[in-house]
């Protein structure tokens, strides 16, 4: 499609997995994008660490440089896509782009989770916008959904599978019986994992995304480091089998829910009932379930990692910026105001069912000792499974317990009590359970 309207010139900063995908989409879908934006969007310049590397992109060599200044100082460029991960130099680059009057689109959630308030404040002072749909849940338009489409609702809760890499690992282990290290390597090869994959598996990435979503949904700024976080490193195939036996799968679930004017938040491996949308979220897919007071429960599902799903969100933000929608959203949602009150995270107390795996010495009286401790802490048991020991009596066997709903603090105290007793061997595992 040709358009007589003046083209918009874009700078792409970072030509890694996502940056290359963005250039590819802008070039290969140029006609469609021109129709959506009402004018052509041209990649004027790109910045990367190694301009000589062949990425198979249709970019003239003299338009690719290592110098951010080639984008920030080019007055023909009005929009910059900042697709560099990590905190530095990404933070300095964002500042330079904003100072030089560029609207910025980014996929960098670590940067927003860490420095969001100051960067948003700078953008406001400069009359610019920052759009960040790609920073959370890859291709799923969840930022727009919360910030715009659900604006009439008081959000009651958010539950999300927000890290594609860890979901890919958990579902491959579960479906193929594959080993953890082997699947992590595969996730890296497919371009899902962060440069430092520890951030995927230890829950950091999901927690940073949850902090951004919670700010949009609840209007409070929660420093991501204060959100209780457990990664998937401790999830083994035995734990998956125990969960399956009870009708559940294990997923890394990020939760933020409002209760009595406070916000309870956490990221942790969680049992999700087989057949529910979270449990059926497999591979690098992400999912977000939101409850709004007017709309009720909504469910979003889509690819949360990978080149083109993330590029899809970045290019949509570029189009929104070009047509002026991003500026309106940025102004009206008031996201990440520097002066927003810190959230009062209500401890980590949520009332939920819990799954316990306790490795006990197989001898008389042990079961009553464990159930007795749970009773002392006011915790009611829904079911107990103990398999026949594989070895001789007196060995160590796993005891799998499902509780009725109880508070997080009570169950944690009970587990600490159990683990300090002389009938267990090793630390117990305690996971929250979601039935819907």
Q: Which residues contact 193 (CB under 8 A, 6 or more apart)?
A: 165, 184, 187, 200, 305
Residue 193 as a binder of ligand HSE (CB under 6 A): the answer is yes
CA 386 vs CA 242, 302, 354, 358: distances in Å: 10, 38, 17, 10
Residues 11, 20, 46, 192: which binds ligand HSE (CB under 6 A)?
A: 192
Using CB under 6 A, which of 108, 165, 289, 428 touches ligand HSE?
165
Which residues ranging from 326 to 345 are in contact with ligand HSE (CB under 6 A)? Answer: none
First to last CA, the chain: 47
Query: Which region among 43-51, 159-167, 249-257, 362-370 touches ligand HSE (by CB under 6 A)?
Result: 159-167
Nearest residue (CB) to ligand HSE, 232 versus 411:
232
Q: How far is the CB of 136 from ligand HSE (least distance, A)?
A: 8
User: 102, 209, 262, 413: which one is catalytic?
Assistant: 209
Among 158-166, 260-268, 273-281, 335-343, the segment contacting ligand HSE (CB under 6 A): 158-166
Region of 112-120, 157-165, 255-263, 410-418 interacting with ligand HSE (CB under 6 A):
157-165
Binding ligand HSE (rule: CB under 6 A), the pick from 44, 200, 317, 362 is 200
**Cβ contact 209:305 at 8 Å:** no
Q: Does 23 bind ligand HSE (CB under 6 A)?
A: no
Question: Which of these ranges, 59-67, 191-199, 226-234, 393-401, lies near ligand HSE under the rule CB under 6 A?
Answer: 191-199
Nearer to ligand HSE, 205 or 362 (CB): 205
Asked if 203 contacts 231 with a C-beta cutoff of 8 angstroms, the reply is yes
Q: Is the dihedral of CA 232, 251, 416, 236 positive or negative?
A: negative
273 is catalytic: no
Nearer to ligand HSE, 203 or 398 (CB): 203
Name residue, tokens 């890919």.
168
Residues 284-318: b if buried by 16+ CB within 10 A, e if exposed: bbbbbbbbbeeeeeeebbbbbbbbbbbbbbbbbbb
Name which of 117 and 138 has its Cβ closer to ligand HSE.
Answer: 138
Closest CA to 217 of 313, 339, 350, 335: 335
CB of residue 244 vs ligand HSE: minimum separation in angstroms? 24
Span of 72-80, 160-168, 237-245, 258-266 interacting with ligand HSE by CB under 6 A: 160-168
CA dist list (Å): 335 to 61, 339, 340: 38, 11, 9
C-beta separation of 134 from 319 below 8 A: no
Q: 254 or 271: whose CB is closer to ligand HSE?
A: 254
CB of 196 to ligand HSE, least distance (A): 10
- Could you tell me if 411 and 354 are in contact, meaning their C-beta atoms sit under 8 angstroms apart? yes
Q: Which is nearer to ligand HSE, 205 or 320 (CB)?
A: 205
Under 8 Å between Cβ of 417 and 351:
no
Q: Distance between CA atoms of 75 and 429, rounded to whole angstroms?
A: 57
The C-alpha atoms of residue 48 and residue 386 are separated, in whole angstroms, by 56
138 binds ligand HSE (CB under 6 A): yes
Site for ligand HSE in 295-324 (CB under 6 A): 304-305
Which residues contact ligand HSE (rule: CB under 6 A)? 138, 163-165, 192-194, 200, 205, 304-305
**Active site residue ranges:** 209
């Amino acid at each position: 499609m040709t358009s007589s309207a003046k083209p918009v010139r874009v700078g792409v900063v970072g030509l890694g997995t996502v940056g290359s995908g963005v250039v590819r989409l802008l070039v290969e879908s140029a006609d469609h994008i021109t129709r959506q934006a009402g004018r052509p969007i041209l990649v004027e310049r790109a910045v990367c660490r190694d301009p000589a590397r062949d990425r198979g992109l249709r970019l003239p060599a003299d338009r690719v440089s290592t110098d951010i200044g080639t984008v920030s100082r080019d007055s023909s460029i009005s929009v910059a896509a900042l697709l560099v991960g990590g905190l530095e130099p990404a933070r300095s680059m964002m500042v330079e782009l904003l100072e030089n009057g560029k609207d910025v689109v980014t996929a960098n959630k670590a940067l927003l989770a860490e420095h969001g308030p100051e960067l948003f404040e700078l953008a406001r002072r400069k009359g610019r916008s920052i759009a960040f749909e790609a920073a959370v849940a890859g291709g799923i338009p969840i930022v727009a959904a919360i910030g715009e489409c659900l604006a009439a609702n008081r959000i009651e809760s958010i539950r999300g599978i927000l890290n594609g890499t860890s979901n890919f690992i958990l579902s491959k282990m579960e479906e193929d019986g594959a080993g953890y290290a082997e699947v992590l390597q595969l996730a890296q090869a497919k371009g899902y994992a962060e440069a430092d994959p520890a951030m995927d598996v230890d829950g950091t990435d999901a927690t940073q995304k949850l902090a951004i979503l919670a700010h949009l949904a609840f209007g409070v700024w929660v420093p991501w480091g204060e959100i209780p976080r457990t990664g998937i490193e401790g999830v083994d195939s035995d734990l998956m089998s125990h969960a399956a036996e009870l009708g559940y799968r294990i997923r890394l679930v990020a939760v933020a829910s409002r209760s009595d004017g406070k916000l309870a938040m956490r990221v942790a491996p969680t049992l999700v009932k087989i057949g529910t949308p979270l449990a059926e979220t497999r591979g690098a897919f992400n999912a977000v379930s939101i409850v709004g007071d007017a709309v009720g429960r909504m469910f979003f599902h889509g690819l949360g990692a990978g080149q083109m799903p993330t590029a899809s969100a970045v290019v949509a933000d570029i189009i929104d910026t070009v047509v002026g929608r991003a500026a309106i959203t940025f102004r009206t949602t008031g996201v990440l105001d520097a002066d927003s009150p810190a959230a009062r995270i209500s401890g980590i107390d949520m009332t939920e069912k819990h799954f316990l795996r306790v490795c006990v010495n197989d001898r008389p009286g042990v079961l009553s000792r464990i159930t007795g401790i749970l009773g002392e802490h006011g915790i009611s048991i829904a079911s107990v499974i103990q398999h026949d020991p594989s070895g001789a009596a007196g060995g160590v066997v796993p005891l799998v317990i499902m509780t009725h709903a109880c508070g997080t603090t009570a169950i944690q105290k009970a587990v600490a009590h159990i683990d300090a007793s002389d009938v267990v061997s090793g630390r117990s595992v305690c996971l929250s359970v979601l039935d819907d």
